[in-house]
């Protein structure tokens, strides 16, 4: 569950630090966008390469 | 000279009156500010689930949603009753139980690993295949999902009425679980934005 891993990791970093997430979950784009909308963190970039989906997220609070 | 004194007297009087009036306002303002601050720290969004089944296709979605909701910062409570309690067992204990309780203990799973799918189980072949496919798709196993939910701060509650009826003892249940009854469930559910049943 990539979203769970993101939520766990975001707790361990400082505000304005970024994390890069590599996922293969087909629903990852929809999930990460919903998570961003709800939690208010920033989605810096989202790219797809084959099965891999890469998101860069910045902690805002 | 008289005028000056009179002026001072009036000034003092006015100030006193103004203070008196504004004191009420000030108190009111403080009151409102206090209320506002309690509104701002209002409780998190909350989800409560009732898990009555132990089939893989019921209990896995329950924990996936629980972990998802916890990732969104929601307070998560899962209430386990009837077969759902099997997900919280870590072993079976026979000592000190009567014959009926021993029989049901023998028939019940002793840990969450032994969950099966509700359809196409085919004496376990279907379940094995399903578990294999889950692994290939990087989906966590049920025991991992349970551990993860605890790690994410979910509150797991085992129904004491079911435990009493089936003779399940607290020693058979994992340590990070709370025990409670319908009142606790209703209390949690009434504060929730989402309630689900599995």
Q: Is B8 on the interface with A (CB under 8 A)?
A: no
- What is the CB neighbour count within 10 angstroms for residue B107? 8
Tokens 């029989």 appear where?
A: B103
| B119 and B182 assigned to the same domain | yes
Residue B169: which CATH number? 3.40.1260.10
Tally of structural domains, chain B: 2
* Closest CA–CA distance from residue B149 to any residue of chain A (Å): 9
pLDDT band for position B4 (cuts 50, 70, 90): confident
| B19 and B61 assigned to the same domain | no
| B35 and B51 assigned to the same domain | no
B chain contacts of residue A1, beta-carbon cutoff 8 Å: 64, 67-68, 71, 140, 148
CA nearest neighbour of B105 among B158, B169, B157, B181 = B169
CA–CA gap between residue B148 and residue A7 (Å, rounded): 12
Mention every residue, 6+ apart, whose C-beta is less than 8 A from residue B183.
none
A-side interface with B, Cβ within 8 Å?
1, 3-4, 6-8, 24-25, 35, 38-39
Mean pLDDT within A21-36: 91
| B35 and B99 assigned to the same domain | no
Q: How far is CA B167 from the centre of its chain?
A: 25
Residues 134-163 of B with CB under 8 A from A: 138, 140, 148, 151-152
| B115 and B146 assigned to the same domain | yes
What pLDDT does B1 receive? Answer: 63
| B147 and B122 assigned to the same domain | yes
pLDDT of B38 higher than 80: no
Cα–Cα distances in angstroms (integers) from residue B87 to residues A22, B61, B116, B197, in the given order: 31, 13, 12, 15
pLDDT of B147 higher than 90: yes
pLDDT in tens, B113-143: 888 888 888 888 999 999 999 898 888 899 9
Q: Which residue range(s) make up the domain with B65?
A: 46-197
Which residue ranges make up each domain of chain A? 2-58
CA nearest neighbour of A22 among A39, A2, A42, A45 = A2
Mean pLDDT within A15-41: 91
ipTM confidence score: 0.85
- Per CATH, which fold does A2-58 belong to? Translation Initiation Factor IF3 (3.30.110)
């Amino acid at each position: 569950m990539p979203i769970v891993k993101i939520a766990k990791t975001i707790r361990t970093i400082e505000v304005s630090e970024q994390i890069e997430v590599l996922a293969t979950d087909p629903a990852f784009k929809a999930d990460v966008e919903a998570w961003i909308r709800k939690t208010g963190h920033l989605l810096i970039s989202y790219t797809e390469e084959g099965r891999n989906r890469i998101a860069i997220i910045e902690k805002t609070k | 000279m008289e005028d000056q004194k009179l002026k001072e007297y009036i000034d003092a009087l006015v100030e006193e009156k103004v203070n008196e009036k504004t004191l009420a306002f000030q108190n009111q303002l403080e009151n409102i500010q206090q209320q506002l601050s309690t509104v701002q720290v209002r409780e998190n969004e909350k989800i409560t689930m009732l898990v009555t089944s132990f089939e893989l296709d019921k209990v896995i979605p329950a924990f996936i949603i629980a972990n998802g909701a916890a990732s969104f910062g929601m307070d998560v409570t899962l209430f386990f009753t009837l077969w759902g309690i099997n997900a919280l067992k870590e072993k079976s204990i026979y000592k000190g139980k009567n014959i009926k309780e021993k029989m049901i203990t023998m028939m019940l799973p002793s840990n969450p690993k032994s969950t099966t799918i509700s359809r196409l189980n085919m004496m376990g072949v279907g379940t094995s295949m399903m578990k294999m496919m889950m692994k290939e798709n990087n989906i966590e196993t049920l025991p991992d999902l349970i551990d993860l939910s605890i790690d994410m701060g979910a509150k797991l509650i085992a129904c004491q009425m079911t435990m009493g009826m089936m003779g399940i003892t607290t020693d058979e249940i994992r340590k990070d679980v709370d025990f409670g009854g319908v009142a606790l469930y209703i209390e949690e559910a009434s504060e929730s934005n989402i309630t689900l049943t599995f």
